[in-house]
Amino acid sequence: MSASVTPLEFQPPEIPEDKAREGYYALLARLFYAGPDAALLAAIGGADEIGDEGEQSALAGAWNRLARAARAMEPEAAQSEYDELFVGTGKAEITPYATHYLAETGREKILVRLKDELAALGLSRAEKAHEPEDHMAALLEAMRHLISMGSTHAALQKQQGFFDRYLARSVVAFCGAISASESANFYRHVARFAEVFFAVESEALKVF
């Protein structure tokens, strides 16, 4: 293969709902990759509340609670919380690697299949990224990329396939682990929002 690789650019899709989906994937990828800095906390905390008129969807409720938590959170505390949960010294309390949640054995095989699939999509790991491709943040970025490819039937099918194979089960277990952790505070809200968002995603990807 040619050695020429270029940084991935995400084109926002035209359909507003898909633009929003892409945004949520981007945001969750960022939050699952590293603790939020002051700018990110401020952006989340300062964002508009969702659906404040009348009844609120579960998504709106979870989002608004996350925004409130972001306003109350110090960046240093959020970052050490991230490190304690996902990095830690020695063994992390919660692993952010999807294959861990997908299989008891044969995780290597899943990772190999994932790498092949990414290669077929024309994606390769950025030089600076050291984490294996099954990192939640990496999977969410791959979905973000697929969403940015458009909203045709074929494009949605690709999204559905990738989501079903790598995210549907793992992300639920991952978020469950965060919610169950006593060290989680800000990330409990991130996990709750992610759970609701991905529940919507699994349904939405069935009805196209």
Partner 1 sequence: MKHHTKSKLSRRNFLIAAGVGGTATAAAIAAQVVAPDKPQAAASKDKRGGKGYQESAHVRSYYNTAKV
Residues 68-97 binding partner 1 (CB under 8 A) are 79-80, 82-83, 87-89
Q: Give the contact letters, 152-171, x = binds to partner 1 (CB under 8 A), - = no.
A: -x--x---------------
Q: How far apart are CA 134 and CA 171, in angstroms?
A: 11
- Of 20 and 168, the one with the shorter C-beta distance to partner 1 is 20
Burial class (CB in 10 A: 0-12, 13-18, 19+), 43: middle
Distances (CA, A) of 136 to 19, 31, 207: 20, 10, 24
Contact with partner 1 (CB under 8 A) among 98, 101, 102, 141 = 141
CB of 179 to partner 1, least distance (A): 20
- Of 88 and 161, the one with the shorter C-beta distance to partner 1 is 88
Contact yes or no for 131/32 (Cβ under 8 A)? no
Tell me which stretch binds partner 1 (CB under 8 A): 54-62, 94-102, 106-114, 161-169. Answer: 54-62
Q: How far apart are CA 33 and CA 208, in angstroms?
A: 30
Phi, psi of 14 (to 5 degrees): -80, -35
Residue 129 engages partner 1 in binding (rule: CB under 8 A):
yes
- Of 44 and 69, the one with the shorter C-beta distance to partner 1 is 44
Residue 192 engages partner 1 in binding (rule: CB under 8 A):
no
- Of 14 and 104, the one with the shorter C-beta distance to partner 1 is 14
Tokens of 126: 């950025």
Tokens of 188: 């409990």
